[in-house]
Amino acid sequence: MSDHAPVTDWVHDFDHTDPRWTENPFPIWEELRATSPVVHTERFLGCYLPTTFEAVKQIAYDTEHFSSRRVVVRDVRPEPAPAPPITSDPPEHKPAKQLLLPPFTPDAVKKLEPRVRAICNELIDEFIEDKGCDVAGRYAKHIPVRTIAHMLGIPEADSDFFIKWIHEILELGIKDQAILMQAVQEMGEYFAGHIEHRKKHPTDDLISTLMNARDKNGQPLSDVHVLGSLRLLLIAGIDTTWSAIGASLWHLAKTPADRERLVAEPELLPSAIEEFLRAYSPVTMAREVMKETTISGCPVKPGNMLLLSFPAANRDPAVFPDADKVVIDRKQNPHAAFGLGIHRCVGSNLARMEMTVAIEEWLKRIPDFTLDPAGKVTWSEGTVRGPRQLPVLFGKPS
Partner 1 sequence: MSGKLKVHVDQDRCQGHARCKSLASELFELDQFGNAHEIGDGTVPAGLEDKAWLAQANCPEIAIEVTEE
C-alpha to C-alpha distance for 116 and 44, rounded to whole angstroms: 39
Examine residue 338 and tell whether it contacts partner 1 (CB under 8 A): yes
C-alpha to C-alpha distance for 271 and 355, rounded to whole angstroms: 12
Examine residue 266 and tell whether it contacts partner 1 (CB under 8 A): no
Examine residue 364 and tell whether it contacts partner 1 (CB under 8 A): no
C-alpha to C-alpha distance for 307 and 71, rounded to whole angstroms: 9
Examine residue 44 and tell whether it contacts partner 1 (CB under 8 A): no
Q: Which of 24, 35, 105, 294 binds partner 1 (CB under 8 A)?
A: 105
Examine residue 378 and tell whether it contacts partner 1 (CB under 8 A): no
- The helix-helix angle for 223-254 and 159-170 (nearest 10°) equals 90
Q: How far is the CB of 340 from partner 1 (least distance, A)?
A: 6
Q: How far is the CB of 79 from partner 1 (least distance, A)?
A: 29
> Do 60 and 343 contact (CB within 8 A), yes or no?
yes
> Do 103 and 150 contact (CB within 8 A), yes or no?
no
> Do 349 and 112 contact (CB within 8 A), yes or no?
no
Length of the chain: 398
Q: How far is the CB of 244 from partner 1 (least distance, A)?
A: 15
> Do 172 and 204 contact (CB within 8 A), yes or no?
no
Q: Which of 98, 212, 222, 294 binds partner 1 (CB under 8 A)?
A: 98
219 three-class SS: coil
Output 110 or 325, the one with its CB closest to partner 1.
110
- # residues contacting partner 1 (CB under 8 A): 22
Examine residue 341 and tell whether it contacts partner 1 (CB under 8 A): yes
Contacts of 324 (CB under 8 A, 6+ apart): 26, 30, 315, 317
Output 219 or 332, the one with its CB closest to partner 1.
332
Examine residue 104 and tell whether it contacts partner 1 (CB under 8 A): yes
Output 270 or 397, the one with its CB closest to partner 1.
270
Examine residue 241 and tell whether it contacts partner 1 (CB under 8 A): no
Fill in the DSSP letter of residue 372.
-
Q: Which of 78, 114, 155, 270 binds partner 1 (CB under 8 A)?
A: 270
C-alpha to C-alpha distance for 269 and 169, rounded to whole angstroms: 33
Query: Between the CA of residue 382 and those of 328, 351, 385, what are the distances in Å?
Result: 27, 20, 7
Q: Which of 225, 335, 385, 388 binds partner 1 (CB under 8 A)?
A: 335
Examine residue 333 and tell whether it contacts partner 1 (CB under 8 A): yes
Examine residue 106 and tell whether it contacts partner 1 (CB under 8 A): yes
Q: Angle at CA 72, nearest 5°, toward 71 and 73?
A: 125
Output 45 or 101, the one with its CB closest to partner 1.
101
Q: How far is the CB of 110 from partner 1 (least distance, A)?
A: 12
Q: Point out which residues bind partner 1 (CB under 8 A).
A: 98, 101-102, 104-107, 270, 274, 331-336, 338, 340-342, 344, 348-349
